[in-house]
Amino acid sequence: MFIDGLLDAYEGNLMGVYAQQIADEKGYSREVMDDWAIQSVKRAQQAQAQDWFHDEISSVCVSHRHDTLNIAQDEHPQEVDTQKISRLKPAFSADGTVTAANSSAISDGAAALVLVDADMAKAKGLQPLAIIRGHASHARTPSEFTIAPVFAIQTLLSQLDWSADSVDLWEINEAFAVVTQIAVDALALDAEKVNVCGGACALGHPIGASGARIIVTLIHQLRRLQQESSQSSLPLRGIAACCIGGGKPPPLPLKCR
């Protein structure tokens, strides 16, 4: 995980080094990134308190000493003390602004999806949770992985003839708070529609599973929003996007009926 997921294969630099570089280049302050991370934690805690994750999580039983524990929710949001976030030391340079708190938490996790084409679903009488409308990717150098989601999303919106305003919810993986913040600012997104259950700064970033995880969360939050909407018969739109250590992010658009 460390070598393949957190290190640049060409230069041997940590992804956090590049996050710090882009934060400096674009002027994202420690306070701004910490505020985003705190918001992420609070949203995750609220989502857990309101049981928003119930339909997307399968509990796991693990043996612990002489007992068996049933793990039914992500642990990290409950372990974070937001009062301490501003006091953490920089993680990637002595005078830096990127810290362990405004970076994604390294965590374990697994996620799974079942994809079925429309004809098969109809033949088997299956009711899909959502419909995938397309996909796109945009390659950058590894040092620019932090901004790659912006260009990938722009490509996708153009392909679909969607406007950013027409998208009801977004999941943009918080590998670092600055990654999501750059996308929100560059695309002029409504931050209230982005990572409504918190992001990886709060929930963790299980490398290899995060892409599927954010898609699953997006689907269930679109369904929740649709049930709460006065126009519940209309399909809602969502886009999930993530950066990749190699610099090539794949955003995915969904419609939820």
Structure tokens at 26: 């674009």
Domain locations along the chain? 1-257
Confidence (pLDDT) at 150: 96
Instruction: Report how far residue 30's alpha carbon sits from residue 4's, in angstroms, rounded to the nearest whole number.
Output: 28
Q: What is the pLDDT along the chain (257 residues), one digit of tens a residue?
A: 666 667 777 788 889 999 999 999 999 999 999 999 999 999 999 999 999 999 999 999 989 888 998 989 999 999 999 999 999 999 999 999 999 999 998 888 999 999 999 999 999 999 999 999 999 999 888 899 999 999 999 999 999 999 999 999 999 999 999 999 999 999 999 999 999 999 999 999 998 899 999 999 999 999 999 998 866 667 899 999 998 765 455 667 666 55
Give this prediction's pTM.
0.92
**Could you write out the three-class secondary structure of the chain?**
CHHHHHECCCCCCEHHHHHHHHHHHHCCCHHHHHHHHHHHHHHHHHHHHCCCCHHHCCCEEEEECCEEEEECCCCHHHHCCHHHHHHCCECCCCCCCCECCCECCCCCCCCCCCCCCHHHHHHHCCCCCCEECCCCCCCCCHHHCCCHHHHHHHHHHHHHCCCHHHCCEEEECCCEHHHHHHHHHHCCCCHHHECCCCCHHHHCCCCCCHHHHHHHHHHHHHHHHHHHCCCCCCCEEEEEECCCCCCCCCCEEEEEC
Confidence (pLDDT) at 85: 98
Which CATH number describes the domain made up of 1-257? 3.40.47.10
